[in-house]
Amino acid sequence: MHAIPGTFGRACQASDMEPRGRIGRDWRESDPWWPPVPTAPEGAPNVLLVVLDDVGYAQLGCYGGPIETPVVDRLAAEGVRLANFRTTALCSPTRACLLSGRNHHRCSMGRVADLAIGFPGYWGRPAREHGFLSEVLRAQGYATYAVGKWHLTPENEANAAAPRDTWPLGRGFDRWYGFHGGETHQFVPALFEDNHPRRPPAVAGYHLTTDLTARAMEMVGDLRAVDADRPFFLYVATGACHSPHQAPADWIARYRGRFDGGWDEYREAAHARQLELGVLPAGTALSPRPAWVPAWASLPDRQREVAARFMECFAGMLSHTDHELGRLLGFLEDTGDLARTLVVVVSDNGASAEGGAEGSLNDVRLTNLDPAGPDELYARRTELGGPTTHNNYPWGWTMAGNTPFKRWKREVHHGGVADPCVVWGPGVDREAAGGVRHQFVHAIDVLPTVLELVGVTAPQVIDHVPQSAVDGVSFAELLAPGGEDAPARHRTQYFEMFGSRAIYHNGWKAVTYHPVGPLYDDGLDPNAPFDDDVWELYHVATDLAEVEDLAAAHPEVVAELVARWWAEAERNDVLPLDNRVLWALTHPKPDARRPRRRYRYFPGGAAVPEAVAVNVRNRSHAVTVSFECATVPEGVLLALGSVLGGWSLHVLAGRPRYVHNLYGARRDVVAAPEPLAAGRHEVRLAFEKDGGLGGEVTLACDGDVVATGTVERFTPSGFNGVGIGVTCGYEWGPAVGDGYVAPFPFNGRILRAEVETTGPVVRDPLAELAAILAEQ
């Protein structure tokens, strides 16, 4: 079949352009033609979007905080600070807003990806019709790179066997190096590179933030080695400052004694500094300390010492992150890119109160309903910030970090949704440098602003998928001289998180808090009907801290705003309202895999996340591993978790050994008394659940029982909160047990490794509590 002379066949055509060239019977009668390669607009800048995690409004120095952040402070001094920037109150939803320019429920990210439920606003998978900034810019000729936290993939799809369409490379990024989920260990993170898992580099003094910086520099360096001009979009989403607040020890030491004055003193000083800097309008009040946060002076000496140490760890982590950002900017200056790079630095939500009233040694203990008490916190205070704890500070520091606002992350008063946003570089006029802008801006406005500044319009089609309308509006005019007097373009914005709701409209804000559980002593019932919630009203144009509730004085305004909220909720897939966090944890979305009792794992394979691994939590089960070894066997056979919690079946000095690590608080060990010789062996570990919280352990070698023991409390709800799952032939680290160092690879050949569940699934504490709350 011959082509029609004078035209190209369909395969040779670009999708939206006229065919060119000519194809004849041979080359003498033909004219070649190449489809044009997408090219960015002339002079288009690079884009660096930095997303900090759980950093509150009053924690960066340039927003009045006492923590040293000279790099971001310099960007603010040479750029523009948005003093009225708002987010969604939670990480995955805000990230969806930043990357898509659409409201979070429209992107099916009404809550974090791990808590997806079966309604369109909460599926946890952003649809292709909501194109990401990476997809838009790549189609315009940009190189697109992501490093760090993703958290836009459902938990059951963040593994080596899952589809990759929601991973970064499936959403417009050319390269990615980072982690799935909300958090990871900062010294031994659960890392991914592009579309596969990988172990972190085995280097002395390793820390994730330093590694992410190095990889970001590497990606840009690789680009510049080939193309000196092509612009890039670099998305840097740090693990900092989400828990665990782990930082290099010398960075923590810099803050020793700096927070001994406590959170009340911090708030007063930060508030005064914010007024001085102009990030708060003159006359802005300081919201009162809530009743469930104790006055610092009322705490016992030992509790104050522990609480101050918690904050030292957070501050060290934030300052270290600022330093690493400076290292990245220095590299961009060296490559000649910095002057043509638009830099946007934001946080994803207000400071986090997830450490509870006294702080947390290991956040997974909270999900197991067994937090550390004051004595244990004091005894282990020197471990805070290091590899053996998953520390998170007390909510007194959360309140201080959100100065001058009420409440915090996961809630939609300003403490949950007010965040820093610094813009620097092309698009910021020199005469506007150092300026502070008080116009209302939301996370969904970042995408249209970036597109305007790089000279790109939002496309109607991306990869043959028709695109929905962008919700955000550009705030580019705020970055120009006189921007402080520019009219606010974003006039209305709804908020919703776990049943708490708010609406902003033309300087007014109506807000209502609906509890998710018995967290605070506020007398509110989490199971009360949503129609019973009391709406507050604030004129935030003059009362930014939401101190004077005007609802009683202006019921007609409340009624109008609440009606507007319901209209926005229906338009954006917010409904149905649902505050049942525990229900979502204990009723995950359906699993398409065939049910089974026996799981086989393979030596050297990728870690299998706990969400898709065999469930042995406080449940009768058996682990059987057969192997052969040319010498005395040594190393890990099968394990799950890390020093923060899990279990490990390994051979230590030739002796088979089982360790159950109860979220870092207790280790139960059952070990064979005699070492095995070289050769072929089978080791079997059987756990038989008792009628309570634990059970009996039997360890057998080659069919003979060699040791027995008791696990008084087997992990009931979750082994560790940092994404480290089942590994065969090695551990991820830090080590589950003592006496060895991860990865502690097995020195022989594992022939078969299986886990068989021999008892029924046991209802865990979260399920029990959810059932109790549902019955109230």
Question: What are the tens digits of pLDDT across the range 533-568?
Answer: 999 999 999 999 999 999 999 999 999 999 999 999
The confidence band for 17, taking pLDDT boundaries of 50, 70 and 90, is low
pLDDT (tens digit per residue) in 200-217: 998 999 999 999 999 999
The confidence band for 3, taking pLDDT boundaries of 50, 70 and 90, is very low
The confidence band for 774, taking pLDDT boundaries of 50, 70 and 90, is low
697: enclosing H helix or E strand: strand 695-701
d(CA 657, CA 669): 7
Partners of residue 446 on adjacent β-strands: none
Cα-based distances in Å from 399 to 51, 294, 295, 448, 711: 21, 11, 12, 32, 39
User: Contact 659/667 with Cβ under 8 angstroms?
Assistant: yes
Residues 408, 266, 360, 287: is their CA dihedral positive or negative?
A: negative
Residues 6+ apart with CB under 8 A from 216: 145, 147, 234, 236, 328
Task: Please give the structure tokens belonging to residue 584.
Answer: 């979502």
The confidence band for 4, taking pLDDT boundaries of 50, 70 and 90, is very low
Between 133-142, 221-230, 512-521, 528-537, the lowest mean confidence (pLDDT) is in 512-521
Give the pairing type, strands 232-237 and 143-149: parallel
DSSP letter (8 states) at residue 46:
E
What integer best gives the mean pLDDT of the chain? 94
**pLDDT at site 438:** 98
- What is the average per-residue pLDDT within 603-629? 96
**pLDDT at site 771:** 66
d(CA 362, CA 485): 47
d(CA 398, CA 386): 21
Neighbours of 481 (CB within 10 A): 12
DSSP letter (8 states) at residue 196:
E
**pLDDT at site 19:** 66
d(CA 649, CA 737): 10
pLDDT at 763 over 80: no
**pLDDT at site 1:** 33
313: enclosing H helix or E strand: helix 301-335
pLDDT at 18 over 90: no
250: enclosing H helix or E strand: helix 249-253
pLDDT (tens digit per residue) in 100-129: 999 999 999 999 999 999 999 999 999 999
Residue with tokens 């946890």: 124
pLDDT (tens digit per residue) in 451-509: 999 999 999 999 999 999 999 999 999 999 999 999 999 999 999 999 999 999 999 99
pLDDT at 5 over 80: no
Cα-based distances in Å from 570 to 105, 573, 575, 674: 10, 6, 7, 67
Helix 301-335 with 262-277: angle, nearest 10 deg: 40
Nearest to 387 by CA among 698, 707, 642: 642
Task: Please give the structure tokens belonging to residue 72.
Answer: 């971001």
Q: What is the largest CA-CA distance in the chain?
A: 92
The confidence band for 517, taking pLDDT boundaries of 50, 70 and 90, is confident
d(CA 476, CA 454): 11
User: Contact 132/100 with Cβ under 8 angstroms?
Assistant: yes
pLDDT (tens digit per residue) in 722-741: 889 999 999 999 999 999 99
